[in-house]
Amino acid sequence: MSLPNPLPELESGPLPYAEALRLAQLGSHHIVPDDDFSAITADSDEGSYVSLTQSVIDYQYEKLPNDEKEQNRLDLFHHVFRMLLNGDLFTAPVADRLRAPVGPGMRRPRVLDLGTGTGIWAIDVADEFPNADVVANDLSPIQPQNVPTNVRFEVDDVESQWPRSRVFDFIHCRTLGGAISDWSALYKQAYDNLAPGGWFEATEVRMRMDSDKDIDWEKTTIHYMTRLFIHALQLIGKPAEVAHLHRGWMIQAGFTNVTERLERIPSSPWPKDKKLKELGYYHMHNLVDAMDSYGLAPLTRILGMERVEAEVLIAAARAEIRNRKNHYYSVV
Ligand SMILES: C[S@@+](CC[C@H](N)C(=O)[O-])C[C@H]1O[C@@H](n2cnc3c(N)ncnc32)[C@H](O)[C@@H]1O
């Protein structure tokens, strides 16, 4: 299946880049495209010269969801995903395998959650499948300690080399767009680490909003801000708009039986349907908080916008999200 409203500007390139340049030039910053960012600098009047190289490095840390607000957001989004799946934790047909009784001499089924965040998905899987062992990793050690005995958290970089031991029955990742530099390599590692007949599932939210109304996206702030955000992360080599690419990466890595499922989540409580309205209410809070957690740093540190300018842009985008008349939704 292909996504509605595909991404022509992104694929053809120049428009978001031009916009980023224009914005970056506001506040006396300029961007010179360069692979290692060493040429990306801010002009200085009074010795306040800043190398964006360091800013980009700082940004990597700033972006980690280690504050309480971001953790609450991740837990709320987990709830949204479960509602979307009618209470399920995944769609891959792997539940029977995880639930199967483990006889003497048999190994327990194993699950791996990549970039687990607060670990809420891994904990729920461990609870629901007590015969399975769940390993969940993240760069940030923000997971709780009081967890089921069959879940283990590890601090790890999923982009580093994994042991190729083909031990997992199910590998899962959710909303890692913007965090990964080399998705093909990640998929290859996942493939190499699955037991025969094992499953991989990736869930990603499309960055660009959609609507069931005929919106002139070029006139919306949300579209403008999203394009800047996508462009900023592209500049640091961590593509954010990747939802539509997972299927290809999966097939390229050698996976078979690949299916893609697309869902819509309303971005505010605009639908009449009760369940969709509730979903929209939660997702609105998720989006608004995500803009606070993830929006500022790319716009200021990577694109060089003034903080106040970025805040004004984000506030306008937030208002658009909250406006029920827009009938916006996210594609997942
Ligand atoms: C948006 S959160 C998603 C968390 C979780 N998957 C969920 O759905 O609730 C992205 C997570 O990926 C983690 N992350 C980013 N880059 C990573 C890496 N290279 N290795 C491991 N974790 C990473 C971040 O620390 C963050 O917790």
Ligand 1 centroid to 112 CA: how many Å? 13
Give the pLDDT score at 65.
Answer: 52
Residue 101 has pLDDT above 50, yes or no: yes
Tokens of 106: 């048999």
Most informative mutation of 69, 75, 114, 116 for ligand 1 (most atoms within 8 A of CB)? 116
Residue 148 has pLDDT above 70, yes or no: yes
pLDDT level of residue 189 (50, 70, 90 thresholds): very high
Would the CB of 140 count as within 6 Å of ligand 1? yes
Residue 48 has pLDDT above 70, yes or no: no
Which stretches does DSSP call E strand in the chain?
Answer: 29-30, 41-42, 50-51, 110-114, 133-138, 151-155, 168-174, 194-203, 210-211, 264-266, 328-331
Give the pLDDT score at 288.
Answer: 94
Q: Are 309 and 27 within 8 A, CB to CB?
A: yes
Asked if the structure places residue 164 within a domain, the reply is no
Q: Tell me the pairing of strands 168-174 and 29-30.
A: unpaired
Asked if the structure places residue 81 within a domain, the reply is no
**Residue scoring higher pLDDT (312 or 38):** 312
CA distance 4 to 154: 38
In which element (H, E) is residue 78 found? helix 68-84
Q: Are 65 and 117 within 8 A, CB to CB?
A: yes
Asked if the structure places residue 148 within a domain, the reply is no
Ligand 1 centroid to 169 CA: how many Å? 21
Asked if the structure places residue 160 within a domain, the reply is no
Q: Are 173 and 204 within 8 A, CB to CB?
A: no
State the closest ligand 1 atom to the C-alpha of 176, by its place in the atom list counted from 1: 10
List, in order, residues 6 or more apart from 84 with CB less than 8 Å away.
263, 265, 279, 332
CA distance 55 to 307: 14
* Per-position DSSP letters for 102-129, written without gaps between them: --TTPPPPEEEEES-TTSHHHHHHHHH-
Dihedral angle sign, alpha carbons of residues 321, 264, 84, 182? negative
Would the CB of 63 count as within 6 Å of ligand 1? no
Residue 272 has pLDDT above 80, yes or no: yes
Residue 118 has pLDDT above 60, yes or no: yes
Tokens of 117: 């965040």
Q: How many domains does the chain have?
A: 1
| Mean pLDDT within 202-215 | 96
Asked if the structure places residue 75 within a domain, the reply is no
In which element (H, E) is residue 296 found? helix 296-297
Asked if the structure places residue 153 within a domain, the reply is no
Helix 120-128 vs helix 68-84: angle between axes, to the nearest 10 degrees? 50
Query: Which amino acid appears at position 312 of this protein?
Result: V
Distance from first CA to last CA of the chain, Å, rounded? 13
β-strand partners of 194: 168
Would the CB of 116 count as within 6 Å of ligand 1? yes
CA atoms within 13 A on the CB side of 168: 22
Give the pLDDT score at 64.
Answer: 55
**Residue scoring higher pLDDT (43 or 159):** 159
Most informative mutation of 70, 175, 207, 233 for ligand 1 (most atoms within 8 A of CB)? 175
Asked if the structure places residue 192 within a domain, the reply is no
**What range defines the domain where residue 291 resides?**
1-62+206-240+262-332
pLDDT level of residue 164 (50, 70, 90 thresholds): low
Block residue for tokens 């993240």: 138
Indicate the burial class of 14 (C-beta count within 10 angstroms; 0-12, 13-18, 19 or more): exposed
State the closest ligand 1 atom to the C-alpha of 74, by its place in the atom list counted from 1: 9
Helix 68-84 vs helix 274-290: angle between axes, to the nearest 10 degrees? 150
The closest of 215, 167, 174 to 192, measured between CA atoms, is 167
Asked if the structure places residue 223 within a domain, the reply is yes
CA atoms within 13 A on the CB side of 317: 26
Block residue for tokens 């760069």: 139
CA distance 81 to 283: 10
